[in-house]
Amino acid sequence: MFESIGAAHAQALDDILKARHTVRKFSALTPRKEDVERIIRAGLIAPYASFPAAGKTDFRKVFVLPSASPVLGRVEEIIDDRMPKFAAKMESEIGTVPFVQRIKQLRSSAVSLLNGAPYFVIAGERIGTPPIAAESLSYCMQTMWLKATSLKIGFRPVTVVAHLRLGNDDEFCQLLDIPKGEYALDGCALGYPAENYQPRQVHYPDFETNVRWL
């Protein structure tokens, strides 16, 4: 099972994990289609919930929208239309917290969230029992993120796809040609980081303080 994995692989993975960051500004340079396909293939082999997937070959789907795709324009329109309603709902439930303020400020949502990325990727996971499609999607996204990092391609989560529950949206599902309500959806942007882009500083939990052996 692990025979082909050596110390060099472990060190390379450590390097990739440390290099993985959200990219919020992209270069106009477009990654090769072959490299985008490698990222997608990595997502397809990410862990999944076995019971909802049992006997099915379509339990995970991935949709790739290049920046020139006419479908992307319609996706932007749908997100822009749904965003104010979502913001109002969140505000009524949890108040005007920073997350809600950020949502209310967004205009041309897909455009601003993609920040010039040449590819918008939507992943779908079939909903079943137990209802843990969101967890499986997180594995898919994280695996694609790490693969993208290994190829020096930037990745940005576009979680508005999940927040708006677009898998339950008639119009959005028609665009993707999937049945409404059968797939949970999430999204990400892919592309090379803009020249001189510096990721935000992140403070991860300290090992000594936050890890306990019981």
CATH of residue 179: 3.40.109.10
The more confidently predicted of residues 200 and 193 is: 193
Q: What is the pLDDT of residue 113?
A: 65
pLDDT for 71: 93
Angle between helices 133-150 and 33-44 (to 10 degrees): 140
Mean pLDDT confidence for 102-129: 79
Residue 11 lies inside a defined structural domain of this protein: no
User: Looking at the domain assignment, is residue 12 inside a domain?
Assistant: no
Residue 197 within any structural domain of the chain: no
Burial of 182 per CB tally in 10 Å (0-12, 13-18, 19+): middle
Asked if residue 18 belongs to a domain, the reply is no
User: What percentage of the chain exceeds 70 in pLDDT?
Assistant: 96
In a domain, 203, yes or no: no
Q: Which of 47-51, 99-103, 107-111 has the highest mean pLDDT?
A: 47-51
pLDDT in tens, 76-102: 889 989 988 888 888 888 888 888 887
The answer to whether position 59 is within a domain reads yes
Q: Is 143 inside any structural domain? A: yes
pLDDT class of 108 with cuts at 50, 70, 90: very low
Place of tokens 């967004």: 106
Question: In terms of residue numbers, what domain contains 176?
Answer: 23-191
Any domain includes 199: no
At 74 the pLDDT is 92
Q: If DSSP states are collapsed to H, E and C, what string results for 5-55?
A: CCHHHHHHHHHHHHHCCECCCECCCCCCHHHHHHHHHHHHCCCCCHHHHCC
- CA torsion angle 73 146 173 47 (round to 10): 170
Q: How many domains does the chain have?
A: 1
